Amino acid sequence: MQANAMRFGRLWPALFLAAGCTTSTGGGGGAEIADGEDEGEVEISAGGLRVAAPPEGKFYFGVFPGDEGFEALEDDVSLGLTEAFEQAVGSQVAWVYFSHNWYQDRAFPLETAEWIRQAGSIPFIRLMLRNDGEQDHADPVYNLDAILSGQFDNDLEDWGTAASEFGTPLLVEWGTECNGEWFSWNGVWNGAGETTGYGDPALPDGPEQFVAVYRHIVDIVDGEGADNITWVFHVNAPDVPDEAWNDFENYYPGDDYVDWLAISVYGAGDPTETEVESFREQLDVEYDRLAALAEDKPIIVAEMGSAANNAEMPPEQWTNEALTDLFAARWPRIIGFAWWNERWQNDDDPAHDTNMVVQDTPALAEAIRSQLDLNGDKLQGPIASDGTPLDNGSN
């Protein structure tokens, strides 16, 4: 299926991504352009290729486009939602971010990944081994002990095989916002700061077991030949709970298991929130810590957003300031950022609902559009690790 050649005032040439139609040797083999395609139609096979960091001074721009429903499960994304966001901000996205919830289906999310690829973007998959969509509880099924004991190895092997067969680059993370207590893989639910229940008695049990599971998952998936995956280690700003054992540094799986570093930075969480911190205030605190994990790993802001109707900090102000700093390279290791385009209910009063959907707040849409227009020369379409433009070169 051909992607739109002209989208919202910016030229994005047609893209044909045909996994496996021409093959290149693994381990960084070059992508090939097939003979005989029509002008503007490029057929790319990227077997063994990963997503490359953009050239210095350029940025990837991504999105979680929102759910078709109102359940905030982060897995019901669609092309229509993505295009609505792109229309609002005036730019195509380099990646589309979504959750793969294992309580829905353990099989590789081929259908979603396929339409994202056909639309000219990179699938960015949150690999969510969890038993339900609720937060703030231990998981009775996909707990760290169960994963590490091998109960889901066959499923992970199948997932890795399917990811490999997908052929073209993928961004994948497991352990989203690992230093946040809302997810069941956080140390709060797995021994916290105790040191006698697992592994090295000098290390806190919760983060130590997380590291072991992260490595276990990557080893199995990569072992099935999925060398087209760029693995992302994703933390939250700030650490919650704010205790030394829960510092995100304790969760880092090591350079051999991580390709990119990522962080979530949010402004107002709902309309009633007070003492809203700016993007700069938060990232200035966390950036040096994150960069110190690995001196050569790219960093992305995997999630950013701020709620509409917040009296203290309107989302357009928060976002305009954030993008100004990002494009000015205040944090030089950052190579990309993505908007969290979602709304959800907080209580029985609709006035308290959180809404970060750009299409619903014209001033926010205009703030993002203006920043992207002003810095259009700094936006980069997705490229593979051999330098091949996966969108056939847009900027």
Say if residue 316's pLDDT is above 80.
yes
Tokens 């990646």 belong to: 95
Average pLDDT rounded to a whole number, residues 238-254: 98
- What element of type H or E holds 354? strand 354-355
CB burial of residue 332 (10 Å; 0-12, 13-18, 19+): exposed
- What element of type H or E holds 11? strand 10-11
Strands 354-355 and 15-17: unpaired
Say if residue 4's pLDDT is above 70.
no
User: Residues of the chain with pLDDT > 90: what percent?
Assistant: 83
Average pLDDT rounded to a whole number, residues 300-308: 98
- pLDDT for 388 equals 86
3-state helix, strand, coil split of the chain in percent (to 5) is 30, 20, 50
The whole-angstrom distance between residue 87's C-alpha and the CA centroid of its chain comes to 21
**In sequence order, what DSSP letters do the residues of 125-191 get, joined into one string?**
EEEE--SSS--SS--SSS-HHHHHTTTTHHHHHHHHHHHHHH-S-EEEEESTTTTBTTSTTSGGGTT
Q: What is the pLDDT of residues 334-351, one digit of tens each?
A: 999 999 999 999 999 999
Cis peptide before 140 (omega within 30 of 0): no
Average pLDDT rounded to a whole number, residues 208-233: 98
Distance of alpha carbon 216 from alpha carbon 234, whole angstroms: 17
Distance of alpha carbon 300 from alpha carbon 316, whole angstroms: 21
Distance of alpha carbon 10 from alpha carbon 219, whole angstroms: 40
pLDDT band at residue 77, thresholds of 50, 70 and 90? very high
- pLDDT for 7 equals 28
Distance of alpha carbon 85 from alpha carbon 88, whole angstroms: 5
Burial 360-392 (b: 16+ CB within 10 A, else e): ebeebbbbbbebbeebeebbbbbbbbeebbbbb
Structure tokens at 300: 């992305």
Contact call for residues 306 and 319 (beta carbons, < 8 A)? yes
- pLDDT for 47 equals 57
Across all residues in the chain, what is the average pLDDT?
Answer: 88
Structure tokens at 193: 């700061």
Find residue 6's DSSP bridge partners: 11
Contact call for residues 46 and 388 (beta carbons, < 8 A)? yes
Q: What are the chain's domains?
A: 50-378 (3.20.20.80)
- pLDDT for 126 equals 98
Average pLDDT rounded to a whole number, residues 32-56: 55
Structure tokens at 200: 């090295």
**Considering only CA atoms, which of 178, 289, 288, 194 is closest in space to residue 245?**
194
Q: What is the pLDDT of residues 131-180, one digit of tens each?
A: 999 999 999 999 999 999 999 999 999 999 999 999 999 999 999 999 99
Q: Give the angle 161-162-163 at the CA atoms, nearest 5°.
A: 90
- Please count the other Cβ atoms lying within 10 Å of the Cβ belonging to residue 215: 15
Distance of alpha carbon 98 from alpha carbon 113, whole angstroms: 9
- pLDDT for 68 equals 85
Backbone phi, then psi, for 192, in 5-degree steps? 45, -125
Say if residue 32's pLDDT is above 90.
no
- pLDDT for 257 equals 98
**Considering only CA atoms, which of 105, 90, 233 is closest in space to residue 159?**
105
- pLDDT for 221 equals 98
Q: What is the pLDDT of residues 277-289, one digit of tens each?
A: 999 999 999 999 9
Say if residue 57's pLDDT is above 50.
yes
Q: Which residue has the higher pLDDT, 46 or 378?
A: 378
